[in-house]
Amino acid sequence: MWITINGNPCEVENTVLARILEEAGYRSPHIATAVNGVFVHRQSRAEIMLSEGDRLEVVAPIEGG
Partner 1 sequence: MVRFYGVEIRNALLLGTAQYPSPAILAEAIRESGVEVVTVSLRRESGNSRAGEGFWALIRELGAHVLPNTASCYTVKEAVTTAQMAREVFGTAWIKLEVIGNPDTLQPDVFGLVEAARILSKEGFDVFPYTTEDLVVADRLIQVGCEVLMPWGAPIGTGRGINNPYGLRTLRAHFPDVPIVVDAGIGLPSHAAHAMELGCDAVLLNTAVAKAGDPVRMARAFADAVAAGRAAWLSDPIDAGDMAQPSTPVPGKAFLS
51 binds partner 1 (CB under 8 A): no
In the complex, what is the shortest distance from the CB of residue 49 to partner 1, in angstroms, rounded to a whole number? 19
Report how many residues bind partner 1 under the rule CB under 8 A: 28
7 Ramachandran zone, left/alpha/beta (phi>0; psi -120 to 50) = left
Q: How far is CA 9 from CA 5, 13, 48, 57, in A?
A: 7, 14, 19, 12
Q: Which helix (H) or strand (E) holds 40?
A: strand 38-40
Which one of 9, 11, 13, 30 is in contact with partner 1 (CB under 8 A)? 30
Q: Where along the sequence are the contacts to partner 1 (CB under 8 A)?
A: 5-7, 21, 24-28, 30-34, 37-39, 41-42, 57-65
